[in-house]
Structure 1
Amino acid sequence: MSTDPAALVFYTNPQSRGRIAHWMLEEVGQPYTTVWLDYGPAMKEPAYLAINPMGKVPALRDGDAVVTEAPAICAYLADRFAQAGLAPDPASRERAAYLRWLFFAAGPLEQATVAHALGWQVPEGRSGMVGFGSRDQTLAALEGAVSTGPYLCGERFTAADVYVGSSLGWGLMFGTIEKRPAFEAYVARVQSRQAARRAHQINQARIDATKA
């Protein structure tokens, strides 16, 4: 671990949501130290619980500041390193779409995907009680968003595309999100970025090393 209190220290596992934040770290292009944690006791050690009491990854330490949850890390890094151009200006119209779809993926899409994976159905007449309403509504809304431009903010790639692109990519890979042409085209587009490829290679190398 770096002794520089201002350095970025990233806690993750190559088979976790940490891969989303890893992609974002590669996008901002700032130096960081990666601490790989295995599932099990390593994530429950007091030293790590002091960073994330949930005992989960990812987590990011930036000096004395700690951020957990992949979408929060994406948003934090986009604002922290604004020179990377991954977050629209707060006063711009692009900011509305940026915030909307970043939080949509972290909320309704995550809920709908997990509910589907676990075989949980919203009881008849109770859709108003859940944030995603119904899985069909959620996927239809997202399909519309990724169909209107190359990116969620039109011509501009942002941290929202990192999070939404990752979420859709995982869903398509594991079958928790149905394959639709708009989803597949969008995922292929965003995951072709060099930063996404670098993050994938780093994580795959870690997986391969642990199997050796």
Structure 2
Amino acid sequence: MPETLTLYSNPMSRGRVARWMLEEVGQPYEVRYLDYGPAMKTPDYLKINPMGKVPALVHGDRIITEYAAICAYLADEFPEAGLAPKERSAYYRWLFFGAGPLEATVIIKALGVEVPADKRGMVGFGSLQTTLDALEIALTESPYLAGDRFSAADVATGSQIGWGLRFGTIEPRPVLQTYWDRLSERPALQRANDADNSAMPPKEE
């Protein structure tokens, strides 16, 4: 019997990235939504993720946290989905770029924090400008981050680009917008978004 895939998530979290990846993989899975606050701090859930946050993926007796790690794990665990290329140098680079320099610099911007120019070497990403320049170069050379084929790197880092474009923390450079438009057409992303959107709390009148 196949081992159960269970995703612990919240529809307003990075769990959306993991759910997109699960849809791309095409294996049966279940989602258990947790509200922010006490629900993520219960003793039972802290056994799964001591950080008390989502997403967390449980696969049989294995636990994987951090959205980029979940994407990498699923790509390796289900190779038939074709989401990890054989030549993996660019794949590894960009798979973790989103959870590293890109996310860090976007959050810094969203918080209104300005890193002094003489301290940029300490933060590991330099500036948002240089981070986006690196992405733009990669996506000018190929349609996807790891080359000519869609991969888990596009799920993990592409999600960060999409959120940044939506919420205005990433400037709408034509190359980045065209890339995100391409990803937005994927049926797996549309299914994942429909499911998570339907679980969103109702808007207050």
Q: TM-score with structure 2 length normalisation?
A: 0.95
Q: Which runs of 4+ in 1 moved over 6 A?
A: none
By how many angstroms is 1:5 displaced? 8.5
By how many angstroms is 1:78 displaced? 0.3
SS at match of 1:87: coil
Name the CA distance, whole Å, in 1 between partners of 2:133 and 2:121: 17
By how many angstroms is 1:152 displaced? 1.2
Counterpart check, 1:150 vs 2:143? yes
The equivalent residue for 2:202 is 211
The equivalent residue for 1:138 is 131
Amino acid at match of 1:80: E
Counterpart check, 1:76 vs 2:73? yes
User: 1:165–1:191: 8 Å Cα contact kept in structure 2?
Assistant: no
Name the CA distance, whole Å, in 2 between partners of 1:147 and 1:46: 47
By how many angstroms is 1:211 displaced? 2.1
Q: What is the aligned counterpart of 1:189 among 176, 182, 192?
A: 182
By how many angstroms is 1:146 displaced? 1.7
The equivalent residue for 1:42 is 39
Amino acid at match of 1:59: A
The equivalent residue for 1:56 is 53
Q: What is the aligned counterpart of 2:160 among 161, 167, 172?
A: 167
By how many angstroms is 1:191 displaced? 1.8
SS at match of 1:60: strand
Q: Which runs of 5+ in 2 are unaligned?
A: none
Instruction: Describe how 1:13-24 pairs up with structure 2 within 5 A.
Output: 13-24=10-21
1:61-93: CA deviation from partner (whole Å, max 9, x where unpaired): 00110000100000000001011000012xx2x
SS at match of 2:27: coil
Name the CA distance, whole Å, in 2 between partners of 1:171 and 1:55: 25
Name the CA distance, whole Å, in 2 between partners of 1:45 and 1:15: 19
Name the CA distance, whole Å, in 1 between partners of 2:119 and 2:2: 49
Name the CA distance, whole Å, in 2 between partners of 1:124 and 1:201: 42
SS at match of 2:178: helix
Name the CA distance, whole Å, in 2 between partners of 1:172 and 1:166: 10
Q: Which runs of 5+ in 1 are unaligned?
A: none
User: 2:58–2:64: 8 Å Cα contact kept in structure 1?
Assistant: yes
Name the CA distance, whole Å, in 1 between partners of 2:53 and 2:181: 29
Name the CA distance, whole Å, in 1 between partners of 2:15 and 2:187: 18
